[in-house]
Chains A and B, each alone.
Chain A
Amino acid sequence: MSVHVQLPPILRPVMGGARVVESEGNSIGAVVAHLAKTHPAIGLHLFDETGAIRRNIVFLHAGQAIRASEAKDRRVSDGDEIVLTNALAGG
């Protein structure tokens, strides 16, 4: 199952400048785990030492914001787009 993952600008240089990368999986958690497995450099930014998705990461999927803790249970379909971003901070 192929899913499109849109990266935030700061992470694009890690993937050669790509705005959108392809990954696989039937949940958001599986998609980012596959991305980390195939591209370890970006995996450093997605998962912390405990193996959990970094807490400040937020995914936008089908018009909804999905927190890191909810990612493994959020189902995705073939061809879906996930926007990988982070919790907003500041004023």
Chain B
Amino acid sequence: MSVALVVGTPKGAAIMTSKDRKTWTQDFVLQGWPVTASVRDDKGRVYAAVNSPNYGVALFASDDLKEWKQLESAPRYAPEDRGNPEHHRIVSQLDFGGLLKGGGRFVDQIWTLHAAHGALYAGVSEAGLFMSRDRGQSWQPVKGFNEHPSRSTWVPGFGGLGAHTILSDAKNPNRMWVGISAAGFFRTDDGGKTWEPKNKGVNPAVDAAPATTGQCVHHVANDPERASTLFRQEHRGVHRSDDGGDTWRVLEDGLPVGELSDGHRCSFGFPIVLDRKSGFAFVVPLDGDNFRFPRGGQLAVYRTKDGERWHALRNGLPANSYSAVLRGSMAADQLDPGGIYFGNASGSIFASNDLGESWQEIARGLPRIYSVEAYAT
């Protein structure tokens, strides 16, 4: 039961490997590059996304997690694409106030990578979707998404306008979902030609936005084999859909609820993952959008077994943790029993090999953890 974790940080990627999910070894690769996401394709090759305010966005690939080779292509917008001024304002601190003033649209970060139906997908900031059918040797924009009719209403979240979640349906290659902060959640049923907002039942986070968009989705999880059941961590609470996102209902029974900065009361957090064999979902609640750390410093993972009620899991987690867990930094290895992993902004990685019943800190002292992916090897 060997597992490898690819852990993205601002300084490179930690590669955590274990043959028994108890004893771990650590390597640190892609040193110097901010690593924001990774994915493994259906042939076993792992891709890691890097970005740099000086040297832009690129992808590295590895067949053994030791030797990494940069690909010659990466997602890029066309010179004529126009950008979102508010997104430019947010990310311009990385630009020394220069480049973005021209009004163009640039890929300044790959937020997420996804492999499905023989293709690779990249969700990027400024928000957009790109795909590759040749293992990353070339990338094409998904124009139906990138030029969505509602694009002019999209409002950036705290970290900019980023497409951070991509989900697929193993039984239906024409159906996919993409989540954007803070534009909401979208679904295509025609292979990416058209996309419908799927936010009914979720409160918009942006007052001025139309009701169909403006939701600040943080992360969404599904099992591609039972793809229409979706678990969604929103800025305004956790939700569930059983109809592919057509309708959503609040799913917070048992979660810590607090007051957001605007007075709304709900749970708050970023990552949400699903163990496919058990069907259990996992979140890491934070104490509202002002504090953004575990309530009282007690780090806790919450799990729902029945998809209805959440229970806290704290065994082995610290009681003095005052850092966030970011949206991409939690993963499940999909083994049996399921292993769950997450990293926090203080550079610790926690692992459970028993579906969250107990936790072990398997690394500490890493930089802020951007992303965690788990691959059974």
Q: Which residues of A contact B (CB under 8 A)?
A: 9-11, 13-14, 40-41, 44-46, 48-52, 54-57, 86-87, 89
- Chain A residue numbers with a CB within 8 Å of B33 are 10
Number of B residues contacting the other chain (C-beta, 8 Å)?
Answer: 30
Contact A87 B96 (CB under 8 A): yes
A-B contact sample (17 more), CB < 8 A, given A14-B70, A56-B96, A89-B53: A9-B32, A10-B32, A10-B33, A10-B55, A11-B55, A41-B72, A44-B56, A44-B70, A45-B52, A45-B56, A48-B56, A48-B99, A49-B104, A49-B105, A52-B99, A55-B99, A57-B55
Known: A10-B33, A49-B107, A56-B96. A44 touches B74 (CB 8 A): yes
Q: Does more than half of chain A's interface fall in helix, strand or loop, or is it mixed? A: mixed
Q: Which residue of B lies closest to A51 (CB)?
A: B79
The smallest beta-carbon distance between A28 and chain B, in angstroms, is 17
The smallest beta-carbon distance between B29 and chain A, in angstroms, is 10
Q: Which residues of B contact A (CB under 8 A)?
A: 30, 32-33, 52-58, 68, 70-74, 76-79, 81, 95-96, 98-99, 102, 104-107
In the complex, A89→B54 CA distance in Å?
A: 10
Task: Name the residue among B33, B55, B68, B73 with the largest chain A CB count within 10 angstroms.
Answer: B55
Out of B54, B57, B74, name the residue touching A57 (CB < 8 Å).
Answer: B54
Contact A13 B54 (CB under 8 A): no
Known: A40-B72, A41-B71, A48-B106. A54 touches B55 (CB 8 A): yes
- Chain B residue numbers with a CB within 8 Å of A13 are 30, 68, 70
Q: Which residue of A lies closest to B29 (CB)?
A: A13
Contact A49 B55 (CB under 8 A): no
Contact A87 B54 (CB under 8 A): yes
In the complex, A89→B53 CA distance in Å?
A: 11
Contact B58 A45 (CB under 8 A): yes
Q: Which residue of A lies closest to B78 (CB)?
A: A49
Known: A40-B72, A40-B73, A41-B71. A55 touches B95 (CB 8 A): yes
In the complex, A41→B56 CA distance in Å?
A: 12
In the complex, A57→B55 CA distance in Å?
A: 8
- Chain A residue numbers with a CB within 8 Å of B73 are 40, 44
- Chain A residue numbers with a CB within 8 Å of B53 are 56, 89
